[in-house]
Structure 1
């Protein structure tokens, strides 16, 4: 997933070819593979082919959380790399608009197809967190780390009925647990984005030629894959059922 006039993790185009931080693309590719595995398993369970309790078993829940956390943290890494020396507003706003449109498409598709809409899932979260993270791009590392710790602690310290209004649903501070197919509220999930900002500052991020392996190519087209993989999986499984293969 890229944001801006050039992809996340790239250097400005000039006399030499554009370069990327290949491990970011590959990390996104790995997260995409894990996401496809999870959703394929969920679909098999939903169709009654398996009895794995993908939506409720602790192990599956932990798997889903690790996938979501990976995407959100990598968004933070990319944001710091792309805008850490100054926000390039044209690119930032263009990418933000893409995320908002994609998130709206997910909400509408899940509402009409499943009757249980995703109101604040991964794409919604990354869009909101990208805006919330802007001041932290230029903040001292200790302040970013402190904000991450406070974000993690907030659900344990600030949960109250005051936050139960549906308009405050994205905060994640209501004592009422919302039923949602995908839900990554600000508290505590924004901490993953802040952690990504710190990783981009601390970890060695060698740039090189654009990687051509499958994982890297998947990572560079992660938004498209994210949007299309589930309809494709469901179409395959429903087709297999119609043919008597399931």
Structure 2
């Protein structure tokens, strides 16, 4: 049964070593992520699943101890998804950022494993993945890593799209209210066109939270660099 969840953005720029001189620009987002993870720890789960988007080569389960690297972003920094030995596959970037957050907050509350889903995974299948996670033994928590749209300003990676702000606002409302139906109503095609890589993970969360009766709290909702970053806590 799902007992708590945290939703965080997954840009590598969240990691100060990657952001370098601009690291301070993400201080508030980072602090909100730490607060959300503290709620996960306080729930005392038996297992934590870190969920994020990935391309086909990175999709699927990633065991505890899997390693992620920020070398593709010009930094010789590695992170590990909880204690353990080397894994066969590297963590995709979204899960690597999640692993970094857990290391930074000193996570040790429960065993950890990762689940990477393709951004294009249909909503119904995302929800089914979430239900399967929630049906695991004992008390389950999720750390969901994913961004909103990347089209909020002219200088954004996807340039300005007038649909982006309303899409992010709808996602923010759903996360704040722990509204699983509203999360599942987010349109897959629109999310893809607007570069909202968090859509699939949010819908995994929606499936996991069905019937759990959790309450939501929105901790951060801004668009630095023209990308929608949301942090929320469910408990």
| TM beyond 0.5 | no
- Larger proportion of strand: 2
TM-score in terms of structure 2 length: 0.29
- Larger proportion of helix: 1
Larger Rg: 1
TM-score in terms of structure 1 length: 0.28
**Greater RCO (Cα-Cα under 8 Å, separation 6 or more):** 1
